[in-house]
Every structure is written in C-alpha cells, then in structure tokens.
Amino acid sequence: MTTTAITNIASLVTNDPSLGDGSPLGLILDAAVVIEGDRVVWTGESSKAPATDNAVDAGGRAVIPGFVDSHSHLLFAGDRTEEFNARMSGRPYTAGGIRTTVAATRAATDDELDANVVRYLAEALRQGTTTFETKSGYGLTVEDEARALRIAARHTDEVTYLGAHVVPPDYADDPAGYVDLVTGPMLDASAPYARWVDVFCEKGAFDGDQARAILTAGMAKGLHPRVHANQLTHGPGVQLAVELDAASADHCTHLTDADVDALAQGNTVATLLPGAEFSTRANWPDARRLLDAGATVALSTDCNPGSSFTSSMPFCIALAVRDMGMTPDEALWSATAGGAAALRRTDIGRISPGARADLVLLDAPSHVHLAYRPGVPLVQAVRQRGERAL
C-alpha cells in the first residue's frame, strides 16, 4: 500500500490525549498525518514526518476527524414544509405530522427511498460527516420496516431498528397489539439488517414497560439498545437506557439529578440533538450540567423531516456552543469522538495510529472557527477511509 503525508497543518485535532498538548483534543500545531491504505499510521509535528510515497500540502489549514453523526432518520419520503412554516409562523397546524411521513414513505418505491438516502449522505459528506447511523421508523409495518433497514444497510453498518417510533394509526385502538408486532414478526424481519434496536420512550409514544419489552426483545435477537429518552418530558427513558447498558440515551432534554448521576456513572452516552430544539423552539438540553457531572456527551443532527431537518454537524456544534453551555473544544469532541462512543466504536472519531483515515480539512486555521463562523461552509476537503471523498 502507498503512503501519503498531509503536511503543513496549522492545527491537528487527534482526539488522543496522549498526543500533542495532552488535552482531550490532543491538539498538535504545525502538524502532519501519514496515511497508509485506509488507516492513520503516524501523527506528529510536520518537521518530524517520515518519508512517504505521496505528499499533500494542507496550506496552513486545520484538520479534524470526520464527524460521526450517531443519530439520524434518513429513510423517509416527502417533507413537512407546511408544518414547519405553520409552527414558525405561530399558526395552528392540524395535519398528520409523523403520520404524513409514514404515508409518504409507505407509498415510495425502494429506488425513491434509496435515492433520498444517497442525497442526504452526499449533503452530509460536504459538511464533513464520514460516519452516520440511521434508523427505520417511518414504515411501521413488517414489510416497510424491513425494507427501510435493507436499504439503509447498503450505505452504513450503523443501522437501527425503530419500529417503536410511534403507534401507527392502524393500531391506535390496540397499542399492546402493536408492541406484540414490534417484538414479534416485525423484529424477526428487521433484525438481519440492523445492529441496533431503539424505542421512543415518551408520553404519547411508548411507556417504560413497553420500552423495556421492546428493547429486551431486540437484545434477545442480538441487537444492541439505544433509546430516545427524555425529549419532551421527564420520564423513565434515561434510567432504562443506563440499566440496560444502552450505547446512548438520545435527546436528554429533561433530566432529574438522578438521571444525570446515572449517565455519569454508567456507560451510556448522552447524545444531544440541538437541531430538534432549534426547529421546535423547545428548551435546550443542558450540556454543561452533564459534562460537569462527568457524563460522556455526543452531538448529532437528528436529521428527520419533522423536527430537525438538518444534516449539518457544524451547525449543531455552533448551537451547542451558543446555547447549550459547551466550549468549542467540547462541542468538536462530542461531534467526533463522542459520536464514536455513542456507536461503541474505537476506530473512528480520532486521528491517531490505527484509526480509520477519516479526515476533514477546514478552510480555517483552527477548529474553533466551526463555532466562530456559524453557517459558513468551512469544509475544504474530506478523506474517507483514506481516499479523497470531497
């Protein structure tokens, strides 16, 4: 395999505290990275870089790990422009919300759903995302959930079965029957295509007992749990996630002290999704409270057509710094290494020997510009698995 050195890097974020300045970001100034195949094999000061087959001049720009978007909903059709417009205009909106998306998704062809995924992945890549998780949840029938996951598995290893998104209209009078479907035939059809099982544990969706039954059924099929938890109200989602050693509890907007303590003491990552609060004018999650308690925090887009229609991790970083009490360093770590932790991955979210060579070159001298210059397209180049992807 050929080796390539990227040199003349103004600041390199490695996310390895054994490197550089010893901070969680492992920041190295005037740095270089050496890639062999799809892996990073060396990082350090540019003047000490070993000889390589090829060299790329970063031009005094910053290099960061590729963003890890650990929570998205990309398997859908249609959009909900009218709903968003009404909400932002202060007008009542009585259309079907998620039911509108379910109807459009069920009606879409496989090729249409696949094309949508490809479109949003290309959009995310242009903004530096090199790893993403995505979920089903807009089919809510055995056939439609399984096909959504089958399509998702063409594009990522991080596929999540979310048959328990909401109870669909056809089961409105029989929610117990729908739980039986989600834990029975739907799970059987979906599990071969998924790594994760998820549930929306919330008032109006699934209560704690239902969520436990759904997650444990998925675990019995070899799927690993993650939970939509405590987004709209206080509830049992976070505690259940920690109890079941879920990889992540996502949203975490309404937390008690006991919830924060549980996250700090367990292995479950608190994944915060500021795009949802931005798009619904809801209360922001208190990232500072979680970080000060010692919890591991991830940032993700929650890209979906209803409550967070953004694929931009830089935008989420800017929101987290501006409105959630995070420093620029913490927000970047959470959008890269934090996302990797939420997926229980050690090969991504960092730039150090042995890591997958997913790198983003910013048209800026420092990662701080992601929050300092919100809305500006700073991603100049992306390498994914060592190859130039953008």
d(CA 76, CA 85): 20
pTM for the model: 0.97
d(CA 160, CA 275): 20
pLDDT band of residue 93 (cuts 50, 70, 90) is low
Question: What percent of the chain lies above the pLDDT cut of 90?
Answer: 94
**pLDDT tens digit string along 26-59?**
999 999 999 999 999 999 999 999 999 999 999 9
- 28 burial (CB, 10 Å; 0-12 / 13-18 / 19+) is buried
Contact indicator for 52, 15 with CB cutoff of 8 Å: no
Question: What percent of the chain lies above the pLDDT cut of 70?
Answer: 99
Position 86 scores a pLDDT of: 86
**pLDDT tens digit string along 352-364?**
999 999 999 999 9
Place of tokens 């549930």: 199
Q: What is the DSSP string of 303-318?
A: BBTTTB----HHHHHH
Position 96 scores a pLDDT of: 57
**Residue 266: is its pLDDT beyond 70?**
yes
Torsion angle of the four alpha carbons 376, 377, 380, 383, in this order, in degrees rounded to the nearest 10: 130
d(CA 135, CA 242): 21
Contact indicator for 243, 216 with CB cutoff of 8 Å: no
Helix (H) and strand (E) counts for the chain? 14, 17
Average pLDDT over residues 250-272: 98
Position 227 scores a pLDDT of: 98
d(CA 96, CA 362): 41
**pLDDT tens digit string along 186-211?**
999 999 999 999 999 999 899 999 99
**pLDDT tens digit string along 278-330?**
999 999 999 999 999 999 999 999 999 999 999 999 999 999 999 999 999 99
**pLDDT tens digit string along 129-163?**
999 999 999 999 999 999 999 999 999 999 999 99
**Residue 176: is its pLDDT beyond 50?**
yes
Position 34 scores a pLDDT of: 98
- 3-class state of residue 115 by DSSP: helix
- 353 burial (CB, 10 Å; 0-12 / 13-18 / 19+) is middle
Position 95 scores a pLDDT of: 46
Position 99 scores a pLDDT of: 83
**Residue 83: is its pLDDT beyond 90?**
no
**Residue 259: is its pLDDT beyond 70?**
yes
233 CB neighbour count, 10 Å cutoff: 11
Handedness of CA 18, 23, 26, 31 (dihedral sign): negative
pLDDT band of residue 233 (cuts 50, 70, 90) is very high
Which residues on neighbouring strands pair with residue 248, listed in sequence order? 269
122 CB neighbour count, 10 Å cutoff: 12
